[in-house]
Each structure stands twice: as C-alpha cells, then as structure tokens.
Amino acid sequence: MGTLFHSGAGCVFLYTPSGRVVGDPPDIFRRQFLEKWAAVPAFLIFGAKVSFRMAESNFKQTVEEKAMSLLEPIVAGEGLELVDLEFVREREGWVLRLFIDKPGGRVGLDECSQVSRAVEPSLDVEDFIPHEYNLEVSSPGVNRPLKKLAHYERVKGQKVKVKTFGPIGDPPRKNFSGTLTQVSGEEIAVEVEGAGSFRIPFKDIAKANLEFEF
C-alpha cells in the first residue's frame, strides 16, 4: 500500500489507494487495513437473532484484550508505553486506536509512526480482526486514561475522574470527580469537593482519567 504523509494546518494526511484520510491532531498516525475474509458474523440461536449490540460489545472486548496482550511488549521494546487502546466503530468504519506515552518526554508524529511500523507486522501475522479497520496511534492527551497502578501513582495529588461498575460509597454513586489523595495496592481514595473522601477498590473501576485543569 502506497502512503504519502503531509503535515499542515494542524492535520496529518494519509494518502492511500482509496483516497486521503485526515488525522485530527498532528500527533496521529493512521493506516488502513484491508478486509481479509469476512465481516463480523451474525449469531442465531434457535432462529432468533442475538442482540447485535451485545455481539458487537463482546467482539470489541475480545479484540481489545488480544491487541493489548500482543502489542504492549512490542511498544515497550520501542522504549515507549502503551497506555491504553480501544477498538471502536466510527463513521468511517472500525478503528483500532493506540494511546502511547514517552517516559520523560513528549509523544510526537515520529513516535507514532515508529510504533505503527513496529506493530503492523504482528497485526498482519496474528490476523485476529476479521474485517477492514484503521490503525491509529496517538498520544494520550491531557486527560490521559488511568489503567495501571503506576498511572495513578504518577498523578497522585491531581484531579481525576473515576467511573465505577456499580454504586459505591455513602451516599452510593458511580461517578467521582476530585483529587486523588491515596493510592494503595488494592484501592484509591478520591476527595470529592462537598462530598468528602471516597475509597474505591481497583476491581470496581470501570474507567478513569486525569482531569486537566486549565
């Protein structure tokens, strides 16, 4: 596949045989992967179609787990960190999006291109995504996701946003926005203004990210 990159006007353009793909910020590298054999299969049970949304959710989770297991050591071998990834359906199609970070430095287009080149061969060989998708590599941004214990330790004392799988605390709630005051091996503590401190077990965290204060 031929590609030509041009950075300008705050965008990165990727030229493919099917046309031009426009990246959002200049630190994004995107490559289109062509369809190999089939789209996501439909599932039938006793003639009744299983909920498409449920099937799609399970498919997404499976792809994300396989991708993280495969790509995390590859990215680490490039001297970078795979902070998070997601496999999502967007207007232009499916996207496998990698968020990378550079210890003690800033992620730019060079690092994104480096990671894309490093992971592409393994994605091609393993071939666990059965339909066309785009690979996108980006920095985590100012509201970076928090996935590992080390991520929380890095931002202790800063403002975070945490969502749990179910209500916890008193009064019970699922959304917590406040200062990360404590990080231990099994839980974190978030001080929510006007509501006090909440201790949140790691196993109950569905999603968390740094909340950058402008």
pLDDT digits (tens, 9 = 90+) for 21-31: 444 444 455 55
pLDDT tens digits for range 64-80: 999 999 999 999 999 99
Yes or no: say if 132 and 92 are a contact pair by the CB < 8 Å rule: no
Q: Which of 157, 150, 155, 134 is nearest to 86 (CA)?
A: 134
pTM for the predicted model, two decimal places: 0.68
- CB burial of 149-165 (b: ≥16 within 10 Å; e: otherwise) equals eebbeebeeebbbbbbe
44 versus 214: the higher-pLDDT residue is 214
Q: Which domains does the chain have, with CATH numbers?
A: 5-136 (3.30.300.70), 149-210 (2.30.30.100)
Query: What is the DSSP code (8-state) at residue 145?
Result: B
CA distance 181 to 198: 10
> Token digits for 79?
């001297």
Give me the chain's average pLDDT, please: 79
